[in-house]
């Protein structure tokens, strides 16, 4: 048996460079490259290996460990999990910074490989720089925090352990049902230790991502159930996009006249103009989907995890006769809501199900309901996109007890802007093309986008809402752009999320990779501020205000920030927008630029799009001195009774 003597780190890089996947007969190099932030825990191990021979792996320099991992996730998500980046950090805080990103990847079922440096396997220099010492267990390091958020975790304490660990890492990363974050913790001494690795370990490996078929019994169960139902409704989940099942999904809906709602991950699998597409579903759902969902007697979830936002905390489907069918490659998800289960690839299952159901001559009993719901939806989106603040007779979209006029006057005095958020989104939706990709993750923007964004092109809506991680937006946009280099990428972000993390914006300048940041600044954590006010609280700790010397609280004036100046310091082309005319001019000019851009749009607080026929269960104080909070708790108890229990 021939062998080659390499350090553990050198062997790891050589192995990663020879991994491929095969999807529907097409072979793709699986690991595109590696993001690095070097420190003492990895620079002389993985760093040396990459400097000596990185093969075809592209090496990128990150600015923040969490940010670069979000970029890796954005890349893999946009490419439907067919290609990934690895991320390496030093020991200690560098590793800890990546834990949030690992959780985001796992929650969204998106493959990312994490390679954090670790403390010494020998323990002889302990305690080393950045080492945590747990007195009861000296085997614990920062990297044990990854255990809770990884789909596979291992620590390479001897160089020969690398081989089985790498094979298992690839097993999970390429498994559609079990994928997510994979962590290989790399002690800094072991990274440099040598071993005679067998040459066959470095051979080209092709991991076939196969379409798991549904059994005949599964399909028969579904056919029998659908045949009994009059008003079924489909859910287009992220699995429709990942399995590239959009075409067969459309055919199924058309053939049997079944309307469908979209999850955040499923949106843009099918364009918004399709006559059966009723838009977002659930807590942040559209008027059409939520109207039809109320009376549906069968819910057919395709590739969805059924988060509480999709089901409105299991409250949305009010028909007492409602049943569920789950088509999902993950058995765990297929079992949710006590459904009839089809554990299979979405495309493969829908193909067979379409053929079998067609034999029965089935058609839903809908008459004009779908058409009427879509017409109402189109009219409602037109309305909210046209909402402007004139200072007179403004109808609030959010129900609360604040002095809205006083708030608007204060905001205008500071910013000179009276733009509403919904009007800004209307202009953006009008001016962006069918090929432009929009990216988002947190705050009020995902809700507004799911309710009202008209996806003109397929796979142009990229929303991270499995974890709704603040700080994903700007950084993931860089990965999305690398995945789709010929398309314009626009990331939609609030001021709170931008300040949370935008580390890879300067990386985009360094790499000469243009992304466009659409920043809506309302000087507030607006989404959570709304949540407070809707449930009886006053505004507390969610607006960006100076500390008031008289009250000692954060209830002074708004704290203004010039975000355009911030981005300009990195080398971005920037714009400050306070009018619709300025916004349109900026959007036109953005297309002429070759560097990353940022449009700083000042928007009035409380001008988001309201919810439609939904309810979201959140924790409300059972005991309070406030009558409003007491009322909110009473409302909670009343709606819990209406929600289904599984």
How would residue 530 be classed by pLDDT, with cut points 50, 70 and 90? confident
CA within 13 Å, CB half, 61: 10
Fold category of 216-376 in CATH: Rossmann fold (3.40.50)
Please give the share of the chain, as a percent, with pLDDT higher than 70. 98
Both tokens of 248, joined, read: 């067969």
Q: Express each pLDDT in 196-222 by its tens digit.
A: 999 999 999 999 999 999 999 999 999
520 has pLDDT over 60: yes
Taking Cα atoms as reference points, which of 580, 521, 535, 530 lies closest to residue 404? 530
Q: Mean pLDDT over residues 420-437, rounded?
A: 97
Same fold, 3-208 and 216-376: yes
Mean pLDDT calculated for residue range 40-47: 97
- At residue 534, the pLDDT reads 87
592: tokens are 């002429």
Residue 7, classed as helix, strand or coil, is strand
Q: Across the chain, what does the average pLDDT equal?
A: 95
- The reported pLDDT for the residue numbered 390 is 77
Cα distance from N-terminal residue to C-terminal residue, the chain: 56
pLDDT in tens, 404-417: 788 888 998 999 99
Question: What local confidence, expressed as pLDDT, does residue 545 receive?
Answer: 93
Residue 462 has what pLDDT? 98
Domain ranges across the chain: 3-208, 216-376, 387-602, 616-646
Res 396: pLDDT: 52
pLDDT above 90: residue 246: yes
Render pLDDT for 552-586 as a digit per residue (tens, 0 to 9): 999 999 999 999 999 999 999 999 999 999 999 99
Give the pLDDT confidence of 322-377 residue by residue, as tens digits.
999 999 999 999 999 999 999 999 999 999 999 999 999 999 999 999 999 999 99
Nearest 5°: CA angle at 140, between 138 and 144? 175
Confidence of residue 1 (pLDDT cuts 50, 70, 90): confident
> What's the CATH architecture for 3-208?
3-Layer(aba) Sandwich (3.40)
Give the per-residue pLDDT at 645.
80
Calculate mean pLDDT across residues 6-18.
98
The SS3 of residue 442 is: coil
Task: Give pLDDT, residue 353.
Answer: 98
Tell me which residue has tokens 């205000």. Answer: 545
Q: Note the pLDDT of residue 407.
A: 87
Contact 545, 554 (CB under 8 A): yes
Q: Is domain 387-602 in CATH 3.20.20.370, yes or no?
A: no
| Strands 31-36 vs 26-29: parallel, antiparallel or unpaired | unpaired
Could you tell me the pLDDT band of residue 166, with boundaries at 50, 70 and 90? very high
- Provide mean pLDDT across the span 461-475: 97
Contact (CB, 8 A) for 639 and 615: yes
What CA–CA distance (Å, rounded) separates 348 from 339? 19
Q: What are the start-end ranges of the H helices in 79-150? A: 93-107
* Phi/psi of residue 350, nearest 5 degrees: -65, -35
């Amino acid at each position: 048996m021939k062998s080659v003597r390499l350090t553990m780190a050198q062997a790891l890089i050589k192995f990663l460079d020879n991994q491929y996947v095969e999807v529907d007969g097409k072979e793709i190099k699986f690991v595109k490259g590696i993001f690095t932030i070097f420190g003492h825990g990895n620079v002389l191990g993985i760093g040396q290996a990459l400097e000596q021979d990185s093969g075809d792996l592209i090496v990128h320099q990150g600015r923040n460990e969490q940010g670069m991992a979000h970029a890796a996730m954005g890349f893999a998500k946009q490419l439907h999990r067919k290609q990934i980046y690895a991320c390496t950090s030093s020991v200690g805080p560098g590793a800890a910074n990546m834990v949030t990103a690992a959780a985001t990847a796992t929650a969204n079922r998106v493959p990312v490989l994490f390679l954090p440096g670790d403390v010494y396997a020998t323990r002889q220099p302990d305690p080393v720089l950045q080492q945590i010492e747990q007195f009861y267990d000296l085997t614990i390091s920062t990297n044990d925090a990854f255990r809770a958020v990884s789909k596979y975790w291992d620590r390479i304490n001897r160089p020969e352990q690398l081989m089985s660990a790498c094979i298992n890492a690839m097993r999970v990363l390429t498994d559609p049902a079990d994928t997510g974050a994979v962590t290989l913790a790399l002690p800094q001494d072991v990274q440099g230790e040598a071993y005679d690795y067998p040459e066959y370990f470095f051979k080209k490996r092709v991991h076939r991502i196969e379409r798991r078929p549904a059994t005949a019994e599964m399909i028969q169960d579904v056919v029998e159930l659908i045949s009994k139902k009059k008003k079924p409704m489909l859910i287009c989940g992220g699995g429709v996009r990942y399995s590239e099942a959009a075409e067969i999904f459309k055919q199924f809906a058309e053939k049997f006249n079944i309307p469908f709602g979209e999850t955040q991950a499923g949106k843009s699998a099918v364009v918004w103009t399709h006559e059966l597409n009723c838009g977002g579903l659930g807590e942040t759902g559209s008027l059409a989907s939520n109207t039809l969902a109320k009376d549906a007697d069968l819910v057919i979830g395709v590739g969805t995890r059924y988060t509480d936002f999709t089901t409105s905390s299991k409250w949305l489907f009010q028909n007492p006769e409602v049943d569920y069918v789950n088509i999902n490659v993950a058995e765990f998800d297929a079992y949710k809501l006590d459904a009839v289960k089809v554990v299979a690839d979405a495309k493969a299952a829908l193909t067979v199900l379409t053929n079998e159901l067609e034999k029965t001559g089935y058609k839903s009993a809908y008459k004009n309901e779908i058409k009427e719901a879509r017409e109402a939806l189109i009219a409602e989106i037109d309305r909210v996109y046209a909402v402007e603040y004139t200072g007179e007779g403004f109808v609030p979209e959010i129900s609360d007890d604040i002095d809205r006029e006083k708030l608007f006057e204060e905001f205008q005095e500071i910013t000179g802007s009276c733009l509403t958020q919904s009007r800004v989104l209307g202009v953006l939706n009008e001016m962006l093309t069918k090929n432009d990709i929009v990216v988002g993750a947190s705050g009020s923007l995902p809700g507004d986008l799911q309710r009202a964004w008209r996806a003109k092109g397929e796979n142009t809506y990229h929303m991270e809402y499995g974890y709704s991680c603040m700080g994903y937006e700007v950084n993931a946009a860089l990965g999305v752009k690398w995945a789709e280099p010929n398309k314009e990428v626009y990331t939609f972000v609030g001021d709170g999320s931008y300040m949370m993390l935008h580390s890879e914006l300067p990386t985009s300048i360094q790499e000469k990779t243009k992304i466009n940041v659409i920043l809506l600044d309302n000087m507030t954590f607006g989404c959570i501020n709304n949540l407070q006010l809707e449930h009886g609280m006053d505004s507390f700790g969610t607006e960006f205000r100076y500390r008031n010397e008289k009250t000692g609280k954060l209830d002074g004036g708004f704290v203004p920030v010039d975000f355009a100046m911030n981005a300009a310091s990195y080398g971005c082309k920037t714009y400050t927008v306070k009018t619709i005319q300025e916004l349109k001019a900026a959007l036109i000019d953005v297309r002429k630029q070759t560097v990353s851009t940022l449009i700083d749009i000042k928007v009035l607080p409380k001008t988001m799009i309201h919810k439609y026929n939904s309810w979201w269960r959140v924790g409300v104080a059972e005991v309070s001195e406030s009558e409003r909070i007491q009322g909110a708790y009473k409302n909670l108890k009343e709606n819990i009774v209406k929600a289904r229990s599984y």
